[in-house]
């Protein structure tokens, strides 16, 4: 079977941080992984703008599968998200200053399952020595907002939370928007962006 065109998105920094591992790692990904070709793009940390931006990117790149990355400050593992939930409930404002509370994203089901199976990807990451676990809760911030909208799209899609890695001497001041208790256990997750990029190559190669 031939390779696929993959679109991989990450997020810009948000809150008081000037760094977002999900966006920074995109520059370290190659243009090809196995037989797949990769396009990468940043999404805004905005409830209002992230969905339209994702739609424009899919129309532009015409991918055959979609991988959306976001960071989770309370997790040391890589955690693919099985569900997107039809609710925005923000602990902090997004980059536009919006802070919706207990508001539906759109008319539709209360939750949607990922349209790419997270299990093979998670198994490959663990076999390669990168701590990974399928998550059942993507939080209710912009990551979950994008996951839900991605899982509505007519192409296979998976949202993956990555640890909030930072340069040496820096600590993440945001990222607790995602349920910190899900998939955290002190597993051996990637320790820096280079390791995260290698882990993502392993994950993408399984698709």
pLDDT by residue (tens digit) across 120-171?
A: 999 999 999 999 999 999 999 999 999 999 999 999 999 999 999 988 767 7
Delimit the domains of the chain by residue range: 5-205
CA neighbor of 138 nearest in space, from 185, 69, 101, 85: 85
Q: Beta-strand (E) ranges in 44-109?
A: 65-72, 79-81, 83-85
What does the mean pLDDT of the chain come to? 92
Residues in Cβ contact with 168 at an 8 Å cutoff, skipping those fewer than 6 apart: none
Q: Which stretch of DSSP H or E encloses residue 60?
A: helix 50-61
Task: Band the pLDDT of 79: cuts 50, 70, 90.
Answer: very high
The model's pLDDT over 34-47, given as tens digits with 9 standing for 90+, comes to 999 999 999 999 99
Task: Band the pLDDT of 182: cuts 50, 70, 90.
Answer: very low
pLDDT of residue 178: 58
Measured in Å, how far apart are the chain's first and last C-alpha atoms?
Answer: 11
CB 206 within 8 A of CB 4: no
Q: Which stretch of DSSP H or E encloses residue 199?
A: helix 193-205
Rounded CA-CA distance 98/178 in Å is 17
CA neighbor of 1 nearest in space, from 206, 164, 166: 206
Rounded CA-CA distance 162/152 in Å is 22
Q: Is the pLDDT of residue 110 over 50?
A: yes
Residues annotated as catalytic are 81, 143, 161
pLDDT of residue 13: 95
Report whether CATH 3.40.630.20 matches the domain 5-205. Answer: yes
CA neighbor of 188 nearest in space, from 76, 25, 72: 76
CB 16 within 8 A of CB 68: no
pTM of the model: 0.93
């Amino acid at each position: 079977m031939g390779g696929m065109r993959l679109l991989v998105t990450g997020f810009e920094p948000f809150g008081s941080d000037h760094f977002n591992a999900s966006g920074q790692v995109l520059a370290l990904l190659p243009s090809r992984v196995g037989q797949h070709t990769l396009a990468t793009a940043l999404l805004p940390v905005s409830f209002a703008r992230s969905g339209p931006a994702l739609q424009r990117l899919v129309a532009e790149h015409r991918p055959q599968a979609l991988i959306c990355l976001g960071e989770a400050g309370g997790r040391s593992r890589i955690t693919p998200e099985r569900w997107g939930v039809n609710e925005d409930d923000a602990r902090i404002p997004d980059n536009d200053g919006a802070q919706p509370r207990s508001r539906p994203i759109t008319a539709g089901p209360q939750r949607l399952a990922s349209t790419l199976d997270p299990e093979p990807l998670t198994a490959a990451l663990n076999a390669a020595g990168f701590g990974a676990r399928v998550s059942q809760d993507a939080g209710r911030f912009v990551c979950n907002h994008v996951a839900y909208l991605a899982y509505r799209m007519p192409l296979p899609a998976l949202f993956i939370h990555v640890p909030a890695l930072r340069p040496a001497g820096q600590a993440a001041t945001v990222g607790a928007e995602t349920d910190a208790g899900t998939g955290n256990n002190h597993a051996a997750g990637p320790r820096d962006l280079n390791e995260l990029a290698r882990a993502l190559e392993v994950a993408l190669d399984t698709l």
